[in-house]
Amino acid sequence: MIRSAAKNHASVAVVTAVSQYQSVLDELRASGGSLGEATCYRLAQDAFRRTAQYDGAIAAYLATDSAPEGTGAPGEAFPAALRLEGERALTLRYGENPHQAAAFYRQAAAPAVGLGSMRQLHGPELGYNNLLDFSAALSLLLEFDRPAAVVIKHTNPCGAALGDTVGAAMLRAKASDPVSIYGGIVGVNRTLDAAVVGALAGIFVEILFAPSYTPDALEELKRTKKRCRVFEVSCDRGALPPRLAEYRSVLGGLLAQTADLDDLDPAALQTVSRRAPTDAEREALRFAWRVAKHAKSNAIVLTTADQVIGVGAGQMNRVDSARLAVMRAQGQGLETAGTVCASDAFFPFRDGLDVVAQAGATAVIQPGGSVRDDEVIAAADAHGLAMVFTGLRHFRH
Q: Is 394 inside a domain boundary? A: no
Rounded to whole angstroms, the Cα distance separating 254 from 29 reads 46
Q: Is 80 inside a domain boundary? A: no
Q: Of 137 and 81, which is predicted with more confidence?
A: 137
Average pLDDT of the segment spanning 69-98: 78
Same domain, 97 and 189: yes
Same domain, 111 and 150: yes
Same domain, 43 and 126: no
Confidence of residue 283 (pLDDT cuts 50, 70, 90): very high
Same domain, 146 and 178: yes
Q: Is 8 inside a domain boundary? A: yes
Task: State pTM to two decimals.
Answer: 0.88
Same domain, 95 and 157: yes
Residue 104 in this model has a pLDDT that exceeds 50: yes
Same domain, 47 and 91: no
Residue at a domain's end among 30, 46, 62:
62
Same domain, 58 and 93: no
Range of the domain at 135: 86-238
pLDDT for position 72 = 45
Q: Is 113 inside a domain boundary? A: yes
Q: What is the mean pLDDT of the chain?
A: 92
Sheet holding 119-122, edge to edge: 119-122, 229-232, 207-210, 185-188, 148-153, 156-162
Same domain, 90 and 206: yes
Write down the catalytic residue from 153, 154, 174, 296.
154
Q: Is 253 inside a domain boundary? A: no
For 78-87, 188-197, 305-314, which range has the lowest pLDDT when averaged over its residues?
A: 78-87
Q: Tens digit of pLDDT for each residue in 207-218?
A: 999 999 999 999
Same domain, 90 and 234: yes
Q: Tens digit of pLDDT for each residue in 160-180?
A: 999 999 999 999 999 999 999
Q: Is 323 inside a domain boundary? A: yes
Q: Tens digit of pLDDT for each residue in 146-158?
A: 999 999 999 999 9
Average pLDDT of the segment spanning 118-131: 97
Residue 154 among the catalytic residues? yes
Same domain, 272 and 184: no
Please state the domain count of the chain. 3
pLDDT for position 49 = 82
Q: Is 305 inside a domain boundary? A: yes
Residue 40 in this model has a pLDDT that exceeds 80: yes
Q: Which of 29-43, 75-89, 379-393 has the highest mean pLDDT?
A: 379-393
Same domain, 56 and 90: no
Q: Is 282 inside a domain boundary? A: yes
Confidence of residue 63 (pLDDT cuts 50, 70, 90): low
Residue 277 in this model has a pLDDT that exceeds 90: yes
Confidence of residue 311 (pLDDT cuts 50, 70, 90): very high
Average pLDDT of the segment spanning 222-250: 92
Q: Tens digit of pLDDT for each residue in 110-122?
A: 778 899 999 999 9
Confidence of residue 226 (pLDDT cuts 50, 70, 90): very high
Residue at a domain's end among 46, 62, 78:
62
Amino acid residing at 192: L
Q: Specify whether the CB–CB gap between 229 and 120 falls below 8 A.
A: yes
Residue 254 in this model has a pLDDT that exceeds 60: yes
Same domain, 233 and 116: yes
Residue 73 in this model has a pLDDT that exceeds 70: no
**Please, is 71 exposed, middle or buried when counting C-beta atoms within 10 Å of its C-beta (0-12, 13-18, 19+)?**
exposed
Average pLDDT of the segment spanning 117-136: 97
Q: Tens digit of pLDDT for each residue in 338-366?
A: 999 999 999 999 999 999 999 999 999 99
Contacts 24+ apart (CB under 8 A), 346-352: 346/370, 346/373, 346/376, 346/393, 347/318, 347/372, 347/376, 348/318, 348/372, 349/318, 349/319, 349/375, 349/376, 350/375, 350/376, 350/378, 350/379, 351/319, 351/322, 352/300, 352/318, 352/319, 352/321, 352/322
Q: What is the CATH number of the domain that holds 291?
A: 3.40.140.20
